[in-house]
């Protein structure tokens, strides 16, 4: 089987501190910690095991 390449990765999460939606970058998702672009607070993010 050939290996495909992810060309676009667009994830948004709701910040538990300010309740705004913020972009989660691939490196943040891998590290399971995101920084809110609105309030600059950090929070934990994980992909649901069902996905």
Q: Is residue 49 part of a domain?
A: no
CA distances from 35 to 3, 43, 46, 48 (A): 31, 7, 13, 19
How many domains, in total, are found in the chain?
Answer: 1
Q: Is residue 30 part of a domain?
A: yes
Q: Which residues of 13-35 are buried (b: 16+ CB within 10 A; e: fewer)?
A: bebeeeeeebebeeebbeeeebe
pTM of the model: 0.76
31: containing domain: 11-44
Q: Note the pLDDT of residue 39.
A: 98
Q: What is the pLDDT along the chain (51 residues), one digit of tens a residue?
A: 999 998 888 899 999 999 999 999 989 999 999 999 999 999 999 988 765
Q: Is residue 38 part of a domain?
A: yes
Q: Is residue 18 part of a domain?
A: yes
């Amino acid at each position: 089987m050939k290996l495909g390449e992810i060309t676009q990765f667009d994830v948004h999460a709701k910040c538990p501190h300010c309740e705004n939606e913020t972009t989660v970058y691939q490196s943040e998702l891998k590290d399971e910690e995101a920084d809110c672009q609105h309030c600059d607070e950090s929070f934990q993010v994980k992909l649901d095991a069902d996905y």
